[in-house]
Amino acid sequence: MEKLHDAIRAMAWTDAGLELLDQRKLPLAESWLVLCDCASVARAIRDMVVRGAPAIGITAAYAAVLAARERYARQPSDWRTGFAIDMQNLAQSRPTAVNLVWAVERMQQLAFSLNGNPVPVLLSEAQAIHEQDIAANYTMGERGAACIDDGSSVLTHCNTGSLATGGYGTALGVIRSAWSDNKLNAVYADETRPWLQGARLTAWELVQDSIPVTLLVDGAAAWLMQQGRVQWVIVGSDRIAANGDVANKIGTYAAAVAARHHGVRFMVVAPSSTVDMGTACGADIPIEMRAEQEVLSAGGQPVAANGAQAWNPAFDITPAELIDVIVTERGIVEHPDTVKMRSLMV
């Protein structure tokens, strides 16, 4: 299979520090920030410089390297105390994407098992996490594409591509693979208010791959399905609970309800680092609430009547019963439930 758009990367480790492509500025500008300390990376995650669950996890792994470098240089005999505080702050930068906590715990556990300077080993581990994510995406791309019939059209929500992962993408990876297998007629993308990840990021990635993309406002998705224009809705996830309930970008639940009503199949694509077997069901997943201002304005300009308030949950929960298939690098789970998720994750 031809691997499409290996060139887009959300993050890169260099001698200068961790470089992050500033996703708030895309597609108008491609600018990179160079961050040299863990606190700046935590802020960048909170402020959406980098976003998307797997990308946040990888970024956190590199941030742990920065934290160890700082703390070990300052206090080689007792770097662990400060490092643990840094990891705690980092883990709190965004609450819903479990890949963040997963990466922080993996890095901290390794760090505390080491003697001497922890930095070289932690850097190798962060790079391994990054590479494993890319490999998982290619595997999921093939597995997900195999579920799709020739001549299908698909709808996706938010951005789940190279920008949201180590590279290639989860749901967008499946779309890339299905496109290169000549299976797709059309790709539709919700614009994804309020941050417009669909319009700004997914469209940007697909245009670079020369995959035709048609944007729609989120409220048009149900009508698109009613018109019989798509056979699959394909999304990523920020956390999958032990029973198969899925947290993803706000609007995913509405798309899943509409899909079931119209007989459109619903696919969730996520690496096993997104599966949280310690959380029993969707009701136990913390949903990030973001600033009202994100809804009351667009592109920095106010769009609402002065004095109006806004409700801005960043994610919602799609119950397992609305999901036809979860695709991971470990395998595929059809009609997920606790028993099937448990056997996937052993």
Ligand X SMILES: CSC[C@@H](O)[C@@H](O)C(=O)COP(=O)(O)O
Name the maximum alpha-carbon separation found in the chain. 66
CA separation for the pair 299, 40 (Å, rounded): 24
Query: Which residue's CB atom is positioned nearest to ligand X?
Result: 236
Active site residue 238: yes
Long-range contacts of 112-117 (CB under 8 A, 24+ apart): 112/80, 117/72, 117/76
Applying CB under 6 A, does 57 fall inside the site for ligand X?
no
Applying CB under 6 A, does 177 fall inside the site for ligand X?
no
In sequence order, what are the residues at sequence separation of 6 or more whose Cβ sits closer than 8 angstroms to the Cβ of residue 196? none
Applying CB under 6 A, does 133 fall inside the site for ligand X?
no
Binder of ligand X out of 104, 164, 230, 327 (CB under 6 A): 164
| CA-based nearest residue to 60, from 42, 81, 33 | 42
Q: How many residues bind ligand X (CB under 6 A)?
A: 17
CB nearer to ligand X: pick between 40 and 237: 237
Binder of ligand X out of 42, 61, 67, 158 (CB under 6 A): 158
Residue with tokens 């970024």: 59
Residue 231: both structure tokens together:
């056979």
Q: Is 144 annotated as a binding residue?
A: no
Q: Map the footprint of ligand X across residues 244-263, applying CB under 6 A.
A: 248-249
CB nearer to ligand X: pick between 111 and 175: 175
Residue 62: both structure tokens together:
């590199």
Applying CB under 6 A, does 41 fall inside the site for ligand X?
no
> Which x/- pattern, by CB under 6 A, does the window 182-221 give for ligand X?
---------------x------------------------
Residue 163: both structure tokens together:
């920008």
Applying CB under 6 A, does 175 fall inside the site for ligand X?
no
| CA-based nearest residue to 87, from 103, 70, 104 | 104
Q: Is 51 annotated as a binding residue?
A: yes
Binder of ligand X out of 57, 141, 144, 236 (CB under 6 A): 236
Applying CB under 6 A, does 328 fall inside the site for ligand X?
no
Residue with tokens 């079931």: 260
Chain-centroid distance, C-alpha 220: 23
The two beta strands, 325-327 and 265-269, are parallel
Task: Using the rule CB under 6 A, give the single segment among 51-59, 60-68, 300-308, 327-335 that binds ligand X.
Answer: 51-59
Q: Is 43 annotated as a binding residue?
A: no
Which one of the listed residues 238, 245, 276, 324 is annotated catalytic?
Answer: 238
CA separation for the pair 68, 27 (Å, rounded): 34
Annotated binding site for substrate: 51-53, 94, 197, 248-249
